[in-house]
Amino acid sequence: MTDGFALSCPIPDPGGDIIELAHGGGGLLMHRLIDRMIRPGFGLPEDGVAHDGAVFEVGSARLAFTTDSYVVRPLFFPGGDIGSLAVNGTVNDLAMCGAQPLYLSVGLILEEGLPIAQLQRVVASMRKAADAAGVRLVTGDTKVVERGKGDGVYINTAGVGAVRSGVALEPRRVRPGDAVLLSGDIGRHGIAVMAAREGFGFEGDIASDCAPLAATVMRLIDVGIELHCLRDPTRGGLATTLVEIAQAGGVVIRIDESSIAISEPVRGACELLGLDPLYVANEGRFVAFVPQHAAETALAVLRGGPAGASAAIIGRVEASGRAVLLDGMIGGTRALDMLSGEQLPRIC
Amino acid sequence: MCLAIPGQIQSITGDDDLTRQGRVAFGGIVKFVNLAFAPEAVVGDYVLVHAGFAIAVIDAEAARQTLDYLAEMEPEETA
Amino acid sequence: MKYVDEFRDPALARRYVEAIARIATRPWTLMEICGGQTHSIVRHGVDQLLPPGVTLLHGPGCPVCVTPAESIDTAIAIAGEPGVIFCSFGDMLRVPGHEGSLLAARARGADVRMVYSPLDALAIARETPDRQVVFFAIGFETTAPATAMTLAQAKRDGVGNFSLLVAHVLVPPAIEALLSAPDNLVQGFLAAGHVCTVMGYWEYEPIARRYGVPIVVTGFEPIDLLQGIYLCIRQLEAGRAEVENPYRRMVRREGNGTAQSLMRQVFAVRTQRWRGMGEIANSGLGVAPDYARFDACRRFGYVSDAPERPTECLSGEVLRGLRKPVECPAFGTRCTPERPLGATMVSSEGACAAYYRYRRPVEEPV
């Protein structure tokens, strides 16, 4: 067994009294902010299921409800834009609850001076994404803030979906012996956006993997796979998602590093910048925890989804506990940790 | 303090000593790299790149020898 | 990826692991200097594969570890000057000085930007002629040529709104400082392969002789690291103390002449403070008189060697393997990864940060 090294370098000084970017990074600081201030502030139970969305009953129906806000810069990047991201992100959160996504609301916060042509592009992109995902954008709101008080466009989407009968997905249902599946190769979205934003000047096709996952999830349910937990590894990447599930579910997850697919361009970019692809955001991938006997069938379904060719069984749940162990390519094992803040490119 | 990775020169532009640069491919992405410290590098060469600069041309034969080293030094282990 | 994947071959790695176990008949303590090597060792679990008698100390080898807190304080002060665009490599942004990090400064309104290369900072200077652009030039000799070339371009093209805050450090004096300490435990060194790509390795020959310590020029991939460890132990077992270079695909004895020549023009060697180790003579680079107007300290009126603020940090002793982190009175209380006092807690691969994580409650598997 090994120590839990976080391979971003180093840990941030949180400053104490102001919000920093790291609080939005999907890592330790963000979780602490939510767990120690926001959740208690809202009266949410301490042991509330930390999950992508809330599931509750209305009459005889079980609904899933989720919300997400999108502040990505730049607004347009290879493979997507803030609009498609906003639709697919919420669609996917509902799918991760085992729900058929139905309706989305859209809140737009526009910065004074934003070219209307850009807004038109975003709106068109949202419509296209919604149609592709089979959801309707049914209500919304628009506000404008003064020049300098926003990044062009901020979008909030909230979504409602119908949870499929008999499906209850949460980390506490994950069991020792479960197989861990990953629906495709990782790292595309985070690299695409970072490259576009920081002007790293890469040529080559690194495009975001932004895509709706609901259809694939519904197929898994239709085929009768007993799903225990699903999650899409967005901010913080695959490693953070697995650590969250291990902690919330009280399990030890063992992953085989060589089974995780990473495309050549993403690999090249990560090597060049010194980034660990395990911590890079994805917007069109998910992990699934299923009983071992269902793993091959589930894999066959995943192969039919976005980037399906690179879908794989990447590990298994080993025991009760709270750890994620990565068996490395050359024989060592390391425990994966949550990052404190955002992963930044290294020179070291 | 030395994150540097190998890439292959796809093309070279500029004659100026200080700003001669190459399009270098790193397993699937391509980036411009300053070649001022590798004046002997030509298209097709692999270079070691750090902070936007090529700091060495990679010696292919030496690489092969490194990989073969243990087999040559302790041949009984290859059995 | 060519020249990367072959050097991560699991079968070859296993053979090296077996060979190391076979030839090591006694305990040995080795040190790798470069943070990039430490990173690779940790990421690939190389140290887990070594026999129990072989200890790898992680030396002072990363800008995170060694850039003095005072330099970061100066960086933050300059970043706070009106109109300044302060550019830095990513991994420096989070390192705290005495008053927080550059990222924290950005949160308070400073224009701090991350760059991949100093050339990117120079480009920003060209694009925004009405702003002062400052680049934080940190790193070992590997990175100094990039800074030097950027400065040469700036001078040639008369980019007047560009300047550098220089804190480059040199490896050989640090190795000597470590080896000359009376309580030194290091018996063999893995020299930083990419530093040697630039500087060659001839500077290490007198050090190996003087201190009777083998020094092996080592790369960064698992095979390179294992080969370096293997060769170092082989020398120790045979009682040899030489400089050896298995990293021949990237390193020649004389190094990169073009880079060295430009570095000599642009920089002047000076005494430099290393975080956690104090001042080491002739171990740093400052701006040469011909380029003085590009020195950000001069331009903005800051002293380049502010007095060191006392700290209870013991990182110097920890990184030399003399004390365990838990023996430090501040460990885990006044000194944590979120509020680090010194080098070995600042870096997530530093000994103290590693111990801290390891000792966090992690439930054992049932």
When computed from its CA atoms, the radius of gyration of chain C, rounded to whole angstroms, is 21
Name which of C6, C197, C220 is nearest B55 (Cβ-Cβ).
C197
What is the band of A156 on the pLDDT scale with cuts at 50, 70, 90?
Answer: very high
Residues C179 and C141 reside in one and the same domain: no
Say if residue C212 is in the same domain as residue C352: no
Three-state SS at A309: helix
Q: Above 90 in pLDDT, residue A214?
A: yes
Q: Which of A64, A112, A72 has its CA nearest to residue A90?
A: A64
Q: Measuring CA to CA, how many Å separate C140 from each of A247, B14, C192? A: 39, 28, 10
In a shared domain, residues C87 and C215: no
Q: Which residues pair with C278 in a beta bridge?
A: C274
| Rounded distance between C-alpha atoms, residue C151 and residue C144, angstroms | 10
Which chain B residue has the Cα nearest residue C38?
A: B1
**Domain final residue, candidates A143, A163, A183:** A163
CATH of the domain at A187: 3.90.650.10
Residue C98 in any domain: the answer is yes
Of A144, A163, A182, the position where a domain reaches its end is A163
Total domain count, chain C: 3
In a domain, C40, yes or no: yes
Q: What are the angstrom distances between the C-alpha of C184 and each of A79, C316, C318? A: 55, 11, 11
- Shared-domain flag, residues A157 and A140: yes
Say whether both A181 and A255 belong to one domain: yes
Q: Nearest residue of C to residue B3 by CA position?
A: C36
Q: What is the mean pLDDT of residues A168-189?
A: 97
Kindly state whether residues C50 and C98 are assigned to the same domain. Answer: no
Average pLDDT of the residues in A128-152: 94
Q: Is the pLDDT of residue A59 over 70?
A: yes
Among A213-222, C20-29, C59-68, which stretch is predicted with the lowest mean pLDDT?
C59-68
Domains and CATH numbers, chain B: 5-78 (2.30.30.140)
Closest-CA distance, A69 to chain B, in angstroms, reads 31
- pLDDT per position as a tens digit, C278-323: 899 999 999 999 999 999 999 999 986 667 777 777 777 777 777 7
CB burial of residue C118 (10 Å; 0-12, 13-18, 19+): buried
CA distance C232 to C247: 13
The band of B77, judged by pLDDT with boundaries at 50, 70 and 90, is: very low
pLDDT band at C348 (very low <50, low <70, confident <90, very high): low
Contacts of B60 in chain C (CB under 8 A): 249
What is the pLDDT at residue C363? 33
Average model confidence (pLDDT) for chain C? 90
Mark whether C165 and C270 lie in a shared domain. Answer: yes
pLDDT for position C362: 37
What tokens does C54 get? 């072989």
Q: Are residues A209 and A297 in the same domain?
A: yes
Cα C318 to the center of its chain, rounded Å: 16
**CA dihedral sign of residues A28, A30, A32, A35:** negative
Same domain, C80 and C107: yes
Evaluate whether residue C285 is within a structural domain.
yes
Q: Does a structural domain hold residue A302?
A: yes
**Tokens standing for residue C75:** 């960086």
Looking at the fold, whether C129 and C147 belong to one and the same domain comes out as: yes
The closest alpha carbon to C103, from C72, C124, C139, C140, belongs to C72
Residue A163 predicted with pLDDT over 70: yes
pLDDT digits (tens, 9 = 90+) for A106-117: 999 999 999 999
Whole-angstrom CA distances from C287 to A328, A347, C66, C116, C308 are 43, 21, 19, 21, 21
Are residues A304 and A180 located together in one domain of the fold?
yes
From the list A262, A265, A244, A242, the residue with the least C-alpha distance to A316 is A242
Give the number of C-alpha atoms closer than 13 A to the C-alpha of residue A331, restricted to the C-beta side: 19
C238 and C321: one domain?
no
Residue C39, in any domain of the structure: yes
Average pLDDT rounded to a whole number, residues A221-233: 97
Domain identity same for A323 and A204:
yes
Q: Which residue has the higher pLDDT, A315 or A31?
A: A315
Q: Within chain C, what is the greatest distance between any pair of CA atoms?
A: 67
pLDDT value at position B15? 81
pLDDT grade for C239, boundaries at 50, 70 and 90: very high
Name the residue range of residue A137's domain: 52-163
Q: Can you tell me the mean pLDDT for A192-200?
A: 86
Selection from A28-37, A267-276, C55-64, C334-343 with the highest mean pLDDT: A267-276
Q: The domain that contains A99 carries what CATH number?
A: 3.30.1330.10
Q: What pTM was estimated for this model as a whole? A: 0.91
User: What integer pLDDT is reported at residue A14 of this predicted model?
Assistant: 44
- Say if residue A221's pLDDT is above 70: yes
Q: Does residue A310 sit within a domain?
A: yes
User: Do C64 and A9 make contact, defined as CB atoms within 8 angstroms?
Assistant: yes
Same domain for A189 and A322, yes or no, is yes
The model's confidence at residue A47, banded by pLDDT at 50, 70 and 90, is low
pLDDT of B35: 97
Q: Are residues A144 and A199 in the same domain?
A: no
Selecting from C114, C139, C222 the residue whose C-beta is nearest the C-beta of A345 gives: C114
What's the whole-number mean pLDDT along residues A231-246? 95
C101 and C220 share a domain? no
Of residues C66 and C89, which shows the higher confidence score?
A: C89
Overall size of chain A counted in residues: 348
Select the residue from C1, C4, C14, C43 to test the A interface by mutation, using most A Cβ atoms within 10 A: C43
Which tops the pLDDT comparison, C359 or C162? C162
What is the tally of structural domains in chain A?
Answer: 2
Best CA proximity match to B53, nearest among B13, B14, B24, B29? B24
Which residues are CB-contacts of C149 (< 8 A; sequence separation ≥ 6)? B18, B34, B36, B37, B53, C119, C262
Closest partner residue to C1 among A11, A199, A268, by Cβ? Answer: A268
The percentage of residues in chain C with a pLDDT greater than 90, rounded to a whole number, is 68
Residues of A in contact with B46 (CB under 8 A): none
Q: In the structure encoding, which two tokens stand for residue A169, read together?
A: 């997905």
Q: Looking at the structure, do residues C120 and C211 belong to the same domain, yes or no?
A: no
* Cβ contact, residue pair C246, B69, below 8 Å: yes
Total number of residues shown for chain B: 79
- Do A262 and A295 lie in one domain? The reply is yes
What is the sign of the dihedral through the CA atoms of B15, B18, B24 and B30? negative
Q: Is residue A7 part of a domain?
A: no
Indicate the residue among A163, A190, A212 that finishes a domain.
A163
| Residue pair A340/A202 in contact by the 8 Å Cβ criterion | no
Question: Quick one: pLDDT at residue C366?
Answer: 28
Inter-chain residue contact C4 with A9, CB threshold 8 Å: no
Phi, psi (rounded to 5 degrees) for A102? -120, -60
Residue of B29, B34, B53, B55 to mutate when probing chain A, most A C-beta within 10 A: B29
pLDDT (mean) for C134-143 = 96
Token output for C120: 């990117």
CB C41 within 8 A of CB C11: no
- Scanning chain A, the segments in alpha helix (DSSP H) are 28-33, 39-42, 82-96, 116-133, 188-198, 214-222, 237-249, 264-273, 295-302
Note whether C149 and C277 are same-domain residues: yes
Q: Does residue C212 lie in a domain region?
A: yes
Report yes or no on A249 lying in a domain: yes
- The better pLDDT of the pair C211, C330 is held by C211
Q: Is residue A36 assigned to a domain? A: no
Asked if A198 is an interface residue toward chain B (Cβ–Cβ < 8 A), one would say no
On whether any CB of chain A is under 8 Å from the CB of C363, the answer is: yes
With bands split at pLDDT 50, 70 and 90, how would you rate the model's confidence at C358? low
Neighbouring subunits of B (3+ Cβ pairs under 8 A): A, C
Query: Chain A residues with CB inside 8 Å of B32's CB?
Result: 201
- C158 within some domain: yes
- Lowest-confidence pick of A50-64, B31-45, C163-177, C240-254: A50-64
Q: Is pLDDT at B76 greater than 60 in this prediction?
A: no
**Pair A331, A255 in one domain:** yes
Q: What does the buried/exposed string (b/e) look like for C141-169 if buried means 16 or more CB atoms within 10 Å of the residue's CB?
A: bbbbbbbbbbbbbbbeeebebbbbbbbbb
Our CA angle for A325, A330, A333, nearest 5°, is 20
Is C116 among the domain residues? yes
Q: How confident is the model at residue C97 (pLDDT cuts 50, 70, 90)?
A: confident
Residues 318-337 (C) with a CB less than 8 A from some CB of A = 337
> What does the pLDDT look like over B1-40, one tens digit per residue?
589 999 999 999 998 889 999 999 998 899 999 999 999 9
> Which is higher by pLDDT, A100 or C355?
A100
Per the DSSP assignment, residues forming a β-bridge with B55 are none
Q: What integer is the mean pLDDT of C101-123?
A: 93
Query: What is the domain extent for residue C349?
Result: 315-358
What pLDDT was estimated at residue A13? 42
Question: Do residues A89 and A138 share a domain?
Answer: yes
Query: Quick one: C104 and C221 in the same domain?
Result: no
Q: Residues B33-58: pLDDT tens digits?
A: 999 999 999 999 999 999 999 999 99
Instruction: Examine the pLDDT at A77 and tell me if it is beyond 80.
Output: yes
Model confidence at A119, pLDDT cuts 50, 70, 90, reads very high
A257 and A294 inside one domain: yes
CATH number of the domain that residue C10 is part of: 3.40.50.11750
Q: What angle do CA C235, C240, C242 make, to 5 degrees?
A: 90
Instruction: Report angle CA A252, A253, A258 to the nearest 5 degrees.
Output: 150
In a domain, A40, yes or no: no
Predicted pLDDT at C360: 44
Which percentage of chain A shows pLDDT scores above 90?
Answer: 72
Q: Which of C244, C274, C289 is the last residue of a domain?
A: C244
- C308 in a domain, yes or no? no
> Residue C22 pLDDT more than 50?
yes
Strands C188-192 and C162-169, sheet pairing: unpaired
One domain for residues A210 and A311: yes
Residue A218 lies in a domain: yes
Q: Say how far apart CA A246 and CA C133 lie, in whole Å.
A: 45
